[in-house]
Chain A
Amino acid sequence: MEERIRVELVSTPIRIEDVMAGLEDPSSGAVTLFLGRVRDHHEGHEVRSIHYQAYAEMALPVMGSIAEETLAKFPVSRIAILHRVGHLQVGEVSVLVAVASAHRDEAFRACRHGIDRIKQDVPIWKKEVLADGTEEWVDARCGGETRG
């Protein structure tokens, strides 16, 4: 199981090509990649940057169990889940979910499942730095954040 899963919290830019190289697998004809990036707006506000804070001791095992759950639920061979922490500028990649499987349908569905579960349960929080200099924690229950 272990080599089929890669889960990391990182404080430096996510190296997408390195992660994709780790998903190489002769039996997998399909690879899907989801990237979440810092967006320049949220609920009508202009966003300059975002601080990501994680409860690392819990976030990592939760990410690991989401990866295991995804492998159990879908016929996929490998999965990588990486999340950035710290201060990110607009356009930087904050989260990556990548899945390798034999065929495309399960690769798409497993990737979607992975990112949806991350947004439900991984204890990571974003604090937006707005154009007017104010900073606000995003409350996922209070707005469009569920649209991701």
Chain B
Amino acid sequence: MSSIRIRLFAVLRDRFGAEFVALDLAPGTTARALLQRLAVQYPDHARHLSTCRVAVNHRFASDTEVVAPEDEVALIPPVSGG
């Protein structure tokens, strides 16, 4: 099992009080499973996690995309630019 550092932004960065959160990554973990694991591990933030999209290597990932330890993974809360 390897560990991955997940980048946080906006409301999640404030709630976690950090720019990254670490997660153990089982082989074959999908983007959707990663979000679900985080929600279980951090129930206080589950509501906000449920609104996030996952980005892998600077692109939005599909639910079924498998995340590798060397990927840059970020949680993308609903965007509000403009």
Residues of A whose CB lies within 8 Å of any CB of B are: 36, 52-55, 57-59, 61-62, 83, 94-95, 115, 118-127, 137-141, 145, 148
Given contacts A137-B10, A137-B14, whether A57 and B58 have CB atoms under 8 Å apart is yes
A121-B82 Cα distance, complex, nearest whole Å? 11
Cβ–Cβ contact A94 & B82, under 8 A: yes
- Nearest residue (CB) in B for A141 is B78
Cβ–Cβ contact A121 & B79, under 8 A: yes
Question: What is the distance, in angstroms, from A56's C-beta to the closest C-beta of chain B?
Answer: 10
> B20 within 8 Å of A by Cβ?
no
Sampled A-B contacts (8; CB under 8 Å): A55-B7, A55-B74, A59-B81, A61-B58, A119-B79, A123-B9, A126-B80, A139-B11
Cβ–Cβ contact A126 & B11, under 8 A: no
> B66 within 8 Å of A by Cβ?
no
> B3 within 8 Å of A by Cβ?
no
Cβ–Cβ contact B11 & A83, under 8 A: no
B67-79 contact mask (Cβ, 8 Å, vs A): 1 or 0: 0000010101111
Residues of B whose CB lies within 8 Å of any CB of A are: 7, 9-11, 13-14, 51, 55, 58-60, 72, 74, 76-82
- Nearest residue (CB) in B for A57 is B58
3 A-B pairs with the lowest CB-CB distances in the bound complex, closest first: A124-B81, A125-B10, A58-B58
Residue from the list A59, A62, A127, A140 in contact with B78, Cβ < 8 A: A140
A118-B79 Cα distance, complex, nearest whole Å? 9
Q: Which residues of A contact B60 (CB under 8 A)?
A: 121
A127-B9 Cα distance, complex, nearest whole Å? 11
Name the residue in A36, A83, A123, A127 with the highest tally of chain B Cβ atoms < 10 Å from its Cβ.
A123
- Nearest residue (CB) in B for A55 is B9
A95-B55 Cα distance, complex, nearest whole Å? 23
Residue from the list A61, A126, A137, A141 in contact with B81, Cβ < 8 A: A126
Given contacts A54-B81, A83-B81, A122-B79, 12 further A-B contacts (CB under 8 A): A52-B81, A53-B9, A55-B55, A58-B55, A61-B59, A94-B81, A118-B81, A121-B60, A123-B9, A123-B79, A125-B77, A125-B79
